[in-house]
Amino acid sequence: MSGPVKFTLDGKQVEAAPGESIWTVAKRVGTSIPHLCFKDDPEYRADGNCRACMVEVEGERVLAASCVRMPSDGMVVNSGGDRVETSRRLVFDLLASDMPERSRSPDPDAHFWGQAELAGLGETHFPSVRPGALKEIPVDSIFHDASHPSISVNLDACISCTLCERACRDVQVNDVIGMAARGVDAVPVFDIDDPMGLSSCVGCGECVQACPTGALMEKTLLNEAATKREVYADKVVESVCPFCGVGCQTEISVRDDKIVKVDGRNGPGNRGKLCIKGRFGFDYALNKDRLTKPLIRRTDAPKRGDIRLSRENMMDVFREATWEEAMQAAADGFNGIIGSDGPGALCGFGSAKGSNEEAYLFQKLIRQGFGTNNVDHCTRLCHASSVAALLEGIGSGAVSAPFTDADHADCIIIIGARPEQNHPVAATYFKQAAKRGAKMIVIDPRGQRLNRHASHPVIFKPGTDVALLNSMINVIIAEGLTDTAYIKANVDGFEALRDKVKDFTPEAMQAVSGVEPDYVREIARLYATSDRSIIFWGMGISQHVHGTDNSRCLIALSLITGQVGRKGTGLHPLRGQNNVQGASDAGLIPMFFPNYASVEDADIRGKYQDAWGRTLDPAKGLTVVEIINAIHDDQITGMYIMGENPAMSDPDQTHARAALAKLDHLVVQDIFLTETAWHADVIFPASSQAEKTGTYTNSNRQVQIGNPAISPPGDARQDWELIVELAKRVGAEWDYDNISEVYTEMAAMMSSLDNISWDRIVAEGAVTYPAKSANVPGDEVIFTNGFPTATGKAKIVPADLLPPDELPDNEYPLVLTTGRLLEHWHTGSMTRTSAALNAQEPTPIVGMHPRDIGAMGFERGQQVTVETRRGAVTLTLRADRDVTPGMLFMPFCFGEAPANVLTNPSLDPFGKIPEFKFSAARIRAASGAEA
């Protein structure tokens, strides 16, 4: 079965490639066949149920649905003619007879109506008893469901085409929507026919994007009753999502300079998909609380670490200023400190939410303008330990293969990650792989919905990663499952590893990790012996005092089994922020110039000194938590923060906020009055991602371009222009006409961006680095032939057991772990400000296993106070079976109950990342609340 199929279509000889349907061939040769239940998108299987695309195959008794029918050699197909056209028109007549008429339907612009025109539908002819048939949908229609905050359901317009079901089950693999009932009663339902807003729907909106009639629709486009469209876009902008490292490409619809909806575009990372944040979280940028004027701290408002501000009382502390005044005040403060305390007293926190160009300019400002390497960003709180281990072991901090390589994997390990919450679109590939039959090993101290798909869910004791992973390595070596040829050719340090893990037998480690020895053997064998195994990991690996050791173990696993450097294999730390890969690449870290070139290497420094025309700081700078400590130690007195929120994101928050309040000079550039901005001397109102041009590098090393969809509010300005302006005022001679010049300057300093010009990114939309030439696609899988180290070989660094810094004891008997929720991003500055997202998760919660809740005499939903040695926070108790007994889980996005008041600032010695995932804690009923 190979080679093209030759057949006749409408009298012409045509050829079909293997797998091409009659419909696809017809489209290719320019024949439009109407289609409804078929979505022209490889993510969606053809279902052939609507019968709109019927064609006549000569010699056959009945017509055939061209979307599912594969042509065969010699077949004679007619896509037109009376019989075919009558049939199609009747199909549309039947469907439209039951629907609201076009002008009064939920979406007169829906795909259905365009296809109805193509099929020649005129008047409808059939009787109907649906409440909305040929009318406007009555708000009390039994088919109307407005229970979801962002999505309206109007099944009066439903044609039972099952695209929403395929969207939910096949494409996003959320398995919420199913077709219920039979015959004319067949309709999509949520769970067991629950209202959508009360169902287990995760709000990805894939069904909305797939629905051809507007029966499922964004509420932002509808009237108040959510039954009829009233908002139409006046422009559509292609861009990229501002939230996570998946880097979904978007299509932003804008009306009157406001975003009204976001669709997924067919990008390499998302293939048309989005999650709830990307699709519905866009309204953060439209929030009325956006900063619109430069602000300067009032002289009568002394700084305090325990201050709480809002838009309502911010004028008690700040006053509005002109840009000139604010900019000069900012520059004067920095210049003064350089003069009095020297450049080392200054520092800057850039942002992984900004573009590559902004990250490059920010670190350049700190290094060239300020003269210090004290520049860092939230990668320090994220994958710094992973990057440290990767650089040390395999010479590169980037992923070895894209998350879409799950398509080709036979065995997938997901450890210390909750991709369904934090990388929902990447999770779709993992779930699809599991459905295809790939083995999936999900390792985490907490349960998660993903375990439903896992062939091997592994719940282990928190903080015992090294014990578990070393015992897997022990099994692989003891049972001779290593790839000796691969090790010989590509790996140094195997013998040391072999000696180290000798005592880490699954039996010996069971007491530590709590995992059955036979189960450890099973997953170790599975990983080692599958043809293609790949590892994905997240903050559960990195945010420990032994975070680097955890990553070292994962690297060792892949190296000794040769599970790296081939399609469907490799190491993939799932990057959190949309541009944490790019910001790190661009040098927004204290020890490296762009592309991980050491600031302590004299040759490299010389190159930058030549380029930037001044002597540069020869020592690596301080990291995020070190900077906070240095402020307390009076070493650092001035700080420039762009788009970061350390007052929320840093561990031991009271300590961190005290440091911010202690600064002589703090300039904060942001879109909102963040908790960090409360401590500022000068605040620059800046632009949201939806308002700017720039490139972003996702978790897959794909450099993509974001375009402005709306204008910044009020006097808010572009971030990159603010950095340039400030640089000029601290003595740097910068001159950029536009952002592409910044990219070009940056790319010239970064070999990783060779052959990737600004114009190429604009033309192609996404380019993966490294790219061997300007004409060939970049390499998705790297390390195919050795590693970018001095020897060309990878280095295994064995890891020893190191307990978490603060173990539970009698006083603090529980383990507190922190993380994110599906709906809330990081410190909440971009999601607590989104009405759509905040409606889903409006209040601070701490999760606890229902058995613990019962055993400790609490009631779910009551107010509780969680305490650690750093502080206490009061919030609502949620029963959550995913939280293992003995643990507490708190998201860190809630400003009114900040989890990081509680977290432990102890650092991993290599990555300098704090131990967010493990603190000893206790819980009690909040005072005034009943126990």
Partner 1 sequence: MLESIEGKRGLPRHRPPYIAEVGLFGRPTLNHNIETLAWIPTILANGAKWFADQGINADHNGMRSYSVSGRVREPGVKLAPAGIPLIDLINDHCGGMAEEHDFKAFLPGGASGGIFPASMADHAMDFGSFEPHGGFVGSHAVVILSNQDSVRDAVLNTMQFFKHESCGQCTPCRSGTDKMVRILQETAPDQPLMADLMQVMSDASICGLGQAAGNCVAHLIKYFPEELS
What the block records as the tokens of 222 is 């509808």
| Count of Cβ atoms closer than 10 Å to residue 748 Cβ | 12
Smaller CB distance to partner 1: residue 62 or 790?
62
Contact between 237 and 711 under an 8 Å Cβ cutoff? The reply is: no
356 token code pair: 């590559």
Q: Cβ closer to partner 1: 177 or 501? A: 177
Nearer to partner 1, 35 or 265 (CB): 35
H-helix or E-strand spanning residue 888: strand 887-891
The verdict on whether omega for the bond into residue 708 sits within 30 degrees of 0, i.e. cis, is no
Least distance to partner 1, CB of residue 275, Å: 28
Q: Which is nearer to partner 1, 193 or 759 (CB)?
A: 193
Q: How far is the CB of 54 from partner 1 (least distance, A)?
A: 5
Q: How far is the CB of 146 from partner 1 (least distance, A)?
A: 25
In this structure, how many other beta carbons lie within 10 angstroms of the beta carbon of residue 76? 15
Comparison of 99 and 394: residue with beta carbon closer to partner 1:
99
Give the N- to C-terminal CA distance of the chain in Å, as an integer.
Answer: 70
**How far apart, in whole angstroms, are the C-alpha atoms of residue 44 and residue 206?**
11
**Which lies closer to partner 1 via its Cβ, residue 2 or residue 775?**
2
- The least distance separating partner 1 from the CB of residue 50, rounded to whole angstroms, comes to 5
Euclidean distance between CA atoms 553 and 567, whole angstroms:
21
Q: How far is the CB of 77 from partner 1 (least distance, A)?
A: 14
Measured from the CB of residue 137, what is the shortest distance to partner 1 in angstroms?
19
Of the pair 69, 364, the CB lying nearest partner 1 is at 69
Minimum CB–partner distance for residue 722 and partner 1 (Å): 57
Least CB distance from residue 150 to partner 1, whole Å? Answer: 28
Q: Which residues contact 313 (CB under 8 A, 6 or more apart)?
A: none
Rounded to the nearest whole angstrom, what is the least distance from the CB of residue 409 to partner 1 in the complex? Answer: 22
Q: Do the Cβ atoms of 568 and 438 come closer than 8 Å?
A: no
Judge whether 401 and 567 are in contact, CB under 8 Å. Answer: yes
Going from the C-alpha of 633 to that of each of 335, 627, 676, the distances in angstroms are: 21, 9, 20
Segment (H or E) for 278: helix 276-280
Say how many CA atoms lie within 13 Å of 815 toward its Cβ: 21
Residue 642 φ then ψ, to 5°: -115, 110
* Nearest approach, Cβ of residue 433 and partner 1 (Å): 19
Q: What is the rounded radius of gyration, in angstroms, for the C-alpha atoms of the chain? A: 29
Closest CB 70 distance from partner 1, rounded Å: 8
Residue 207 Cβ vs partner 1, minimum distance, rounded to whole Å: 18
Q: Kindly tell me which of 65 and 415 has the beta carbon lying closer to partner 1.
A: 65
Closest CB to partner 1 among 173 and 925? 173
Contact (Cβ atoms closer than 8 angstroms) between residue 925 and residue 931: yes
Residues that bind partner 1 (CB under 8 A): 48-52, 54, 62-63, 65, 68-69, 83, 86-87, 90-91, 94-95, 97-98, 125-127, 159-160, 179, 181-186
Helices 517-529 and 506-513: angle between axes, nearest 10 degrees:
110
Burial pattern 455-483, b for ≥16 Cβ within 10 A else e, equals bbbbbbbbbbbbbbbbbbbbbbbbeeebb
Closest CB to partner 1 among 12 and 182?
A: 182
- Residue 159 vs 636, nearer CB to partner 1: 159
Cβ 823 vs Cβ 837: under 8 Å: yes
Instruction: For CA atoms 67, 69, 73, 79, give the dihedral sign.
Output: negative
Alpha-carbon gap, residue 10 to 13, rounded angstroms: 8
The helix (run of H) or strand (run of E) holding residue 685 is: strand 682-685
Chain-centroid distance, C-alpha 787: 28
Of the two residues 30 and 127, which places its CB atom closer to partner 1 in the complex? 127
